[in-house]
Structure 1
Amino acid sequence: MSALELNGENLYRDPYPVYARLREEAPVAFFEGTHEYLVTRFEDCRTVGANDRMFGPSGSPDRPEARVMGMPNVLSMTGEDHRLLRLGIDENLTLEQVRGYVEALTRPVVDRCLAELAPRGSANLTADLFEPISVRCIGDVIGLTDTANETLVEWFHAMSAGLQNVGDDPAVWERLDRALAEIDAQLGALYERVVARPDHTLMSHVVRGGLPDGEVRGFDEVLPTMKVIILGGLQEPGHAAANACAGLLLNPDQARVVADAPKEHALRAFDEGLRWIAPIGVTPRVTAEDVVVAGTSIPAGSSVAIVMASANRDPNRFENPDRFDMSRKKRPHLSFGFRPHFCSGHALSRAMGTIALEEVFLRLPNLRLDDSREVAAKGWRFRGVTDLPAVWDA
């Protein structure tokens, strides 16, 4: 099997060679594995993403998102219902709001994790540091303060695997169903709590956001959207930070620049990591009518996947795009999606990831790759560096 062949195995292992071939040969390609058209060039992705009337959100029950999160959810909704729901989600996630609480939310978690990790002198920085930071902080924002880190990590891994289960592996579905049962139970208890006593958690905002005073959304209304938030929110900041850290450690000259002045360079490195390996690689759409994109006819009602991960490596947009280069000329990437579905958590993710990278390079002296094993990544709809073997002077 060629590494360039369009199939689920190649995409899961490393989608970037496949995307490069598609951009050259078939920039809009139908993928039998998920029954959708993959749009892979930057300008085409931007065109599709900007036209919410022609390429609206997909609420199809046949999509993997329906199996994993349920429908309707914030990603599948449009119009006034979507706008009102976003008012609740976004209420405490604006840049101004995030600036007011992100230090108190993130810095203590990072401090605890690094205090435990630093004496060891080696670790898988993804599993031992960046994922625990991400799930603890976002779990607390959601209101899952009593849910263990290990549980939260298992939830998003099980959901991510379900979204990418092109081979219909029953073990993946069993793992997903176990996670979903736990999520339903814990979110049910959290829902009852915030209905009785409103608070500042994200769940409380989602339950009431955009509604007249005294009104609340039902549990079945908010559950699919909360699952979207759990899947994207728990993993994205941690994997974005891990991806950026991997890019730095694979390029020691850049790592030294960050180590010499972490506060000056951490945000730039984090943002380049988002471009280099988009944690959320695909966003789904559905065509409102027959349309032609890049010379390919797409019938009305078809599922279309905007492949942001491919767009972010389009050489017509980014010079030498497969290289991590935090000093490259800044150009907007597509990792946070498109309005009106632009990622609500973009400001919080950037702020959390920047703090995590700052502290890692401040507190782990002479941080470098562990040459005993290779950096490993997986996934395509969601992709992250899963094993980031590192050593430092303890």
Structure 2
Amino acid sequence: MSPTSHLDDVYYDPYDFSIDADPYPVWRRMRDEAPLYYNEKHDFYALSRFEDVERALTEWGTFLSGRGTLLEIIKANVPIPSGNILFEDPPVHHAHRGVMARVFTPKKMNALESKVREFCGRSLDPFVGTAGFDFIGDLGTHMAMRTIGYLLGIPEEDQEAIGSLFDDNLRIEDPDNPRPPDIGIDGAFVDYIEWRSEHPSDDLMTELMNAEFEDETGAVRTLTRDEVIAYINLLAGAGNETTARLVGWAGKLLGEHADQRRELAADRSLIPNAVEEVLRYEAPSPVQARYIERDVEQHGQKIPAGSVVLLLNGSANRDERRFPDPDRFDIHRSVGRHLGFGYGIHHCLGAALARLEGRVALDEVLQRFPDWEVDWDNAVQARTSTVRGWEKMPVLIG
């Protein structure tokens, strides 16, 4: 018996725009009726309950990341460049993540707060006294790319074009024929790396080029130029996409919950927990794909080796087995551990930076605009298979 043979009307498709607009009713049915789900059209399995997703994220020897963490990348058997730690398994992953962890510490990220505030102020001040602004186009993408660009030493005049490059790369145009994104957008950074190698500075790019580490063979060395490019590609892409989505969701949710927004405006100490609730309620990266190395059993069914499993951390964050009344947005919720940043060895290294940016952005918005409502006539949802959020999230403030 297949996992869904008796549940023909339960259907989940990560490429279906109508489902992606609000996947939570489908995910709830999957959790209740098909905790191991199989999609015949795209040939993947899916786990949707918190306990199952959390455990699978820790079982890296069975649920592999080394073939990619997007369904379309695994299916297309796209070659994975060395240095992209999201798409690596131990022991290579441990060696490469160790380098990143040394140069991307929470302490260093938190030291950026004044810079992030400056970037937010520059984005928001022009809209004081106007009718409205866009949480994505006018704030989220600018703040995120300026912050990552500042860390990497990329000139501001080039940052917007690089951010647009990543947005375009992830966008799905044809849901019936999803193309895998280009995971080697290295041309955008080659010139910067060449110039920085001759002009070292106090930035992450210089640190990455000079950091010595012990690789998986036991050799002590620095990163190859291709590995540096892969690292920077990852930082620029992940840093821009997920943070911008987080800011967009905050604008949308607080536009819909005016009472909670006004509480935050009156008491800014509530903002950090509100950010955690946004991350739980609307995970910016809600779907993680894994390649199955060996046969594994879930809910009495065998997932054969060679299969692809989608780990729905966005669904897990709404699992009523873990979170009481999970479909209620509540800035006072005792959130505890959620899976908005993943879990296990691939837990997001940029979590501290994303939390900082989300907290500062919300603080700076509320300082200037304690009231807003979503301009639904002009809001546009982004269409990708990996990050979920808004391409445009305009609000009215006048």
Q: Given the two structures, how large is their TM-score scaled by the length of structure 1?
A: 0.86
Q: How does 1:48-127 map to 2 (within 5 A)?
A: 48-59=56-67, 63-65=71-73, 70-72=80-82, 73-100=84-111, 102-127=112-137
Deviates more, 1:18-27 or 1:353-362: 18-27
Aligned-pair CA distance for 1:3: 10
Q: Structure 2 unaligned segments of length 5 or more: list them.
A: 1-7
Opposite residue 373 of structure 2, the aligned amino acid is L
Q: How does 1:201-212 map to 2 (within 5 A)?
A: 201-211=203-213
1:235-269 Cα deviation digits (max 9, x unpaired): 2112112212321221111011011122x121111
Equivalent position SS for 1:331: coil
Tell me, yes or no, if structure 1 residue 45 matches structure 2 residue 53. yes
Counterpart-to-counterpart distance in 1, 2:98 and 2:381: 35
Separation in structure 2 between the aligned mates of residue 302 and residue 206 of structure 1, nearest angstrom? 35
AA paired with 1:229? Answer: L
Q: CA deviation at 1:139?
A: 2.3
C-alpha distance in 1, partners of 2:382/2:19?
9
Is the contact between residue 38 and residue 46 of structure 2 (CA under 8 Å) also seen in structure 1?
yes
Q: Does 328-337 or 187-196 show the bigger shift?
A: 187-196
Output the CA distance in 1 between the equivalents of 2:41 and 2:108.
41
**How far off is 1:313 after superposition?**
0.9
Deviations 1:167-187 (A, max 9, x none): 226xx78xx66xx89x42221
Q: CA–CA distance in 2 between the matches of 1:226 and 1:70?
A: 15
Q: Does 1:186 align with 2:175?
A: no
- 1:84-233 aligned at under 5 Å gives the runs 84-100=95-111, 102-162=112-172, 166-168=175-177, 183-211=185-213, 215-233=221-239
Contact 2:46 2:310 in 1 (8 A): yes
Cα separation, 2, equivalents of 1:368 and 1:104: 25
Partner of 1:326: 331
Kept in 2: contact 1:3–1:18 (CA 8 A) = no
Structure 1 range deviating more: 140-149 or 105-114: 140-149
Aligned residue for 1:253? Answer: 259
Find the aligned partners of 2:382 and 2:319 in 1 and give their Cα distance: 20
Whole-angstrom CA distance in 1 between matches of 2:123 and 2:69 = 40
Q: Is the 8 A contact 2:140 2:247 kept in 1?
A: yes
Q: Which has the higher helix share?
A: 1
Pairwise CA distance, 1:207: 3.5
Pair 377,223 (structure 1): closer, same or farther in 2 beyond 3 Å: same
CA shift for structure 1 position 376: 4.9
Q: 1:314 aligns with which of 319, 333, 347?
A: 319
Cα offset for 1:341? 1.1
Q: Which among 283, 287, 293 is matched to residue 298 of structure 2?
A: 293
- The residue aligned with 2:28 is 20
Letter in 2 for 1:327: H
| Alignment correspondent of 2:352 | 347
The residue number in structure 1 matching 2:240 is 234
| Aligned pairs, number | 381
Which whole-Å CA distance do the structure 1 matches of 2:43 and 2:344 have between them? 24
Secondary structure at the counterpart of residue 222 of structure 2: coil
Q: What are structure 1's unaligned runs of at least 5 residues?
A: none
Distance in 1 between residues matched to 2:194 and 2:61, nearest whole Å: 37
Root mean square deviation of aligned Cα? 2.9
Over 3 Å counting, the alpha-carbon distance change for 1:159 and 1:122 in structure 2 is same
